[in-house]
Chain A
Amino acid sequence: MSATLRNWQGFPAILAFVTLLVLPVALVDGLPVFVAGLGVEMILVLLLLLFALFAATRTDAAPAGDLALAVGALAAAALTIRYLPGAELAMTEAARSAAAAGRSTMLARIAIVPGLWALALLAWLLAWQLVSRLAVARGPNSSAHFLLGIAVPLIFGLSLLFLWEILARGFGVPFVLLPPPSAIGAKIAASLPILLADFRQTFLKAVLAGYAIGCLSGFLVALAADRVASLKRGLLPIGNLVSALPIIGIAPIMVMWFGFDWQSKAAVVAVMTFFPMLVNTLAGLTASDAMQRDLMQTYAATHRQALFKLRLPAALPFIFNALKINSTLAMIGAIVAEFFGTPVVGMGFRISTEVGRLNIDMVWAEIAVAALAGSLFYGIVTLIERLATFWHPSFRQS
């Protein structure tokens, strides 16, 4: 049952292939062109697709089949993007033909190149087949396994980007609504200096400073509270409550107190990251077993020794949990605080002003940078966690 389920893409892929052969795939000078009219490169692609189709209909998973699928999907995707009308061109052309025929713009686009949609569908089906194969595959050794773990989400993400590009350009989606990824990429490449300045202002100054202050003070207060039982008993419920509050609301107050520059954003980030760190560290310090604590006592360990040799290491998974939560909170806090007043640089500032000018591609470029920075930040914290808490059951190979 699982084999047929895994292979359901085979039949629709063949259908799409046949559609591709019999219907026009592109418009050249306003005339429909069939596959046969596109010359040598198309014949090469068709051959690659045939190989991929053959692999897609087989149930046994072999590396050669995976390779054929990957190459076929890539070739189909590249060809689709090549013959897809450019965003601006598509819109004017579609508008003209729609106006001439008295139809809506969207219908005009779909009616023109059915073959190209078949090609896009084919690329997507092959990619899906590849993903579902790789998802169940096991690498021969640990490094191959690690690569597989990266490759699967990467291919999935690429096919999502492909889908976005196709839909945005193929349907002539208005540019202000959703620019295609290629336009966003071009915008990133064209405005690197601005993006870098914003990144420096928001991330390197506000986020990192606030993150360090918030996490460190949360940690130190937790250590202090740990020594005094009644302080801890009172702080834990309050910390839990405050963690659920919309702390982001203090952003305008902090801007009023600390001025427009990055210090106010760092203050917001520090307050936002303080409580998760406090609560998690307090919880983590009680994570060691009673038996282990007793052992420390039989060794006549002082509070400090027990703290550094037993309880802090045992608390590390909790502390890293807070560090990870805080890494995303810090980005959000810094960017939102910039909505309330900022010098003319910074990610939040850029996003809010460019939205006002309807420069949506610039906004998306900024979002891409923010997402990349946030993911890298998170990834680095995760990496440090793996190195520091390699002994924890969740990281040991089963």
Chain B
Amino acid sequence: MAAAYAVPRPSFLASRFVAVSAILLVILAVWYVGAIFLNTNAQNLFDARDGRTPTLRQFIESTWSQSKPRLPAPHQIAIELWNTTGEIALATKGTFVERVQKTLANRQGLFYHTSVTLSSTLLGFAMGTLLGIGLAVLVVHVASLDKSLMPWIVSSQTVPILAIAPMIIVVLAAVGITGLLPKALISTYLSFFPVTVGMVKGLRSPEPIHLDLMRTYNAGSAQIFSKLRWPASLPFLFVSMKVAIAASLVGAIVGELPTGAVAGLGARLLGGSYYGLTLQMWAALVAASLMAGILVAIVGFIERRVVRRMGLAR
């Protein structure tokens, strides 16, 4: 009889995959139509200058193939992405390792800029996670810090650190600290907060009865931490880390803005906005979004592995 109560699987047409794909298709369609309208003015100017009177079909096709469109069509962005990634990789010569190295070192290519942004994202994320866990441990174990420090941690995030980013970069450069660290510090500031908040919650998540049990075992606070609080907090840690790594990427991108458009996805954005290279901007944006998605997915993958290993999976 149990089968009668089982939740029926949604049919293929009602599944999430179909729903998501349908909405993505709608977005694509709206995008293409929007590209026509947003690029109309410029196209009219071009046509008037060249003395052309295109048919409607020609007109629409040309709005989708301008070199500096207000809104590039999706396929233009895809082509730009391919030109700055795959084509550069294919054009290199030598052994596989050499080709990878050359591709990563090519300043015209997105791989180079992505790797620059990725390195400061990861460094900032690592520092932010460690700082966040450390602060959470302090807040949970020192009663006076909970009341005094925690409100400041919360209000620290209402300070728009992204606004301070240029100052941190410029000031640290004036002292002689340049390169990865200043950008990573901004990522750290953005990523420590979700970890602290999540871990404070997580380290407090063991129920009083469990804590009492540990006390009946005469466990010290270090033992309670390593055997009860830390394992109990891991699910919270992973949720926070997913938020933190996305925030860390934002920090890295914004940290690259004031460096004078040298390297990184943020610099690509800024350079594109200076010279009106919209395709470059959109390609950088898509690359950053892909990176965010992949990073979050990697954290999610590790989370599933750890949770299964700990026997917490449901």
Contacts and interface: CB of A to CB of B under 8 A. Distances in A.
Contact of A132 (B143, B174, B282): B143
Nearest to A236: B16
Nearest to B20: A234
Interface stretch (B91-99, B226-234, B253-261): B253-261
A231 B144 contact: no
A234 B19 contact: yes
B175 A177 contact: yes
Interface stretch (B49-57, B165-173, B203-211): B165-173
B152 interface: yes
Interface string B155-170: 1011111111011001
B20 A153 contact: no
B285 interface: yes
Given A177-B175, A336-B254, A235 B23 contact: yes
A128 B143 CA distance: 12
Interface stretch (A80-88, A244-252, A300-308, A390-398): A244-252
Contacts of A186: none
A96 to B, nearest CB: 23
B143, B158, B167, B273 pick with most chain A CB within 10 angstroms: B158
Interface in B133-183: 143-144, 146-152, 155, 157-164, 166-167, 170-171, 174-175
A387 interface: no
B292 A246 contact: yes
A156, A255, A358, A366 pick with most chain B CB within 10 angstroms: A156
B151, B159, B284, B293 pick with most chain A CB within 10 angstroms: B159
Nearest to B164: A367
B163 A348 contact: yes
B242 interface: yes
Contact of A249 (B22, B70, B288): B288
A216 interface: no
Contacts of B63: none
B160 A244 contact: no
Interface stretch (A65-73, A311-319, A368-376): A368-376
Given A256-B278, A351-B163, A135 B242 contact: no
B162 A367 contact: no
A253 B277 CA distance: 10
A237 B171 contact: no
Nearest to B174: A176
Contacts of A231: 19, 23
Interface residues of B, number: 62
Contact of A250 (B14, B157, B285): B285
B199 interface: no
B162 A245 contact: no
B184 interface: no
Nearest to B266: A249
B257 A234 contact: no
Nearest to A6: B144
B70 A244 contact: no
Interface stretch (A53-61, A164-172, A280-288, A339-347): A339-347
Interface in A338-386: 339-341, 347-348, 351-352, 355-356, 358, 360, 363, 366-367, 370-371, 374-375, 377-378
B14, B143, B150, B284 pick with most chain A CB within 10 angstroms: B143
A229 B16 CA distance: 10
A340 B273 contact: yes
B246 interface: yes
A128 B250 CA distance: 36
A238 interface: yes
Contacts of A331: 158, 160
Contact of A136 (B21, B143, B160): B143
Contacts of B148: 131, 135, 152-153, 155-156
Contacts of A358: 170, 174
A46 interface: no
A341 B273 contact: yes
A336 B159 contact: no
Nearest to A352: B166
B100 to A, nearest CB: 26
Nearest to B253: A246
Contacts of B250: 246, 248
B192 to A, nearest CB: 15
A248, A249, A358 pick with most chain B CB within 10 angstroms: A249
B219 interface: no
A87 B242 CA distance: 44
A135 B254 CA distance: 38
Interface in B264-314: 265-266, 269-270, 272-273, 276, 278, 281-282, 284-285, 288-289, 292-293, 296
A173 B151 CA distance: 28
Contacts of B116: none
A241 interface: yes
A339 B149 contact: no
B158 A132 contact: no
A336 B144 CA distance: 36
A360 B171 contact: yes
A332 interface: yes
Nearest to B172: A177
B272 to A, nearest CB: 7
B155 to A, nearest CB: 5
Interface in B26-66: 38
A346 to B, nearest CB: 11
B170 A355 contact: yes
Nearest to B148: A156
A389 interface: no
Contacts of B166: 339, 351-352, 355
A286 B162 CA distance: 34
A255 B147 contact: no
Contacts of B162: 248, 332, 335-336
Contacts of A332: 160-163
20 contacts: A6-B144, A135-B143, A135-B148, A152-B148, A176-B174, A234-B16, A244-B243, A244-B292, A245-B246, A246-B246, A246-B289, A253-B285, A257-B38, A335-B163, A339-B257, A339-B258, A341-B273, A347-B163, A351-B164, A371-B159
Question: Shortest 9 CB-CB distances between A and B: which pairs?
Answer: A234-B19, A252-B273, A374-B158, A132-B144, A156-B148, A153-B151, A135-B147, A234-B23, A135-B144
